[in-house]
Amino acid sequence: MISDKHKFIYIHIPKCGGMYITNHLVPFSEDLNTGVVGKNSDSIMVRRPCEKFHKDFGLRYMHASAFELRKYMGDNKYKEYFSFASIRNPWERMISVYFWGEGAPFNKAAFINNTAPHKNGFECYLDRIKKTFRRSVTPIDYFILNDDGEIIVDYVFEMKEMQKGLEHCKQELNISFDMDSRRHNVSSHNHYSLYYDDELKEMIHENYKWEIDYFNFKFEDKR
């Protein structure tokens, strides 16, 4: 999401509270709500008014990386804008993605009904995402780093600190809005750790090692 008037860029990493943020920022952006509803009525799609750009960029505009948006805007213009992103513990994020609907082909019903890992489901799903590129499960470094491995986003905050993070952005941008207490576009499941055993836990660590190490994410074990 881009705002030329307020000079901000929001990097929407999937399943990191992005719908909550998008719903609050649309009034301050030249992006338009397409009217396309996703998983629920709070799951909106946005596009730029420039039809040619949106056509060339495709649906990935909503989840564009900082590198892609900088290339589109140009280095100088990109640097003038305040860029920010929300992030999430990858063990938690992958469970959210799975229950949101990505894992449906792998007997999701059986997985939902058991707190222990459904090895024939989630494990197959984790194995599959290593072999394909989909933004819903792409590691955080893809969204916030340049080709030299440098962070090119001004401010990054964890989803669990959403209110604090957005307050900082509001002050930085000198904008004001009341923050909704509702969660948006959510999936329903138990605490994420209940769906892991040690093998599945290590699979996530292997796939998302950079962000786990850099942001010091921890596995909160409630098994």
* CA distance readout (Å), 16 to 89, 114, 116, 133, 184: 9, 25, 24, 18, 11
Strands (E) located in 119-214: 155-158
Residue of 44 and 88 predicted with greater confidence? 88
Residue 203's pLDDT is what? 87
Residue 131's pLDDT is what? 67
Residue 36's pLDDT is what? 62
pLDDT band at 165 (very low <50, low <70, confident <90, very high): very high
How far, in Å, CA of 71 to CA of 108, rounded? Answer: 39
The domain spans of the chain are 2-214
Amino acid at site 32:
L
Q: Which long-range contacts (CB under 8 A, 24 or more apart) does 161-165 make?
A: 162/17, 162/20, 162/21, 162/86, 165/84, 165/86
pLDDT band at 115 (very low <50, low <70, confident <90, very high): very low
Torsion angles phi and psi, residue 190, rounded to 5: -80, 180
- Residues 6 or more apart in contact with residue 215 via CB below 8 angstroms: 87, 140, 156, 158
Nearest CA-CA partner of 184 in 12, 1, 11: 12
Kindly report whether the global pTM for this prediction surpasses the value 0.75: yes
The yes-or-no verdict on residue 32 having pLDDT over 80 is yes
The yes-or-no verdict on residue 12 having pLDDT over 80 is yes
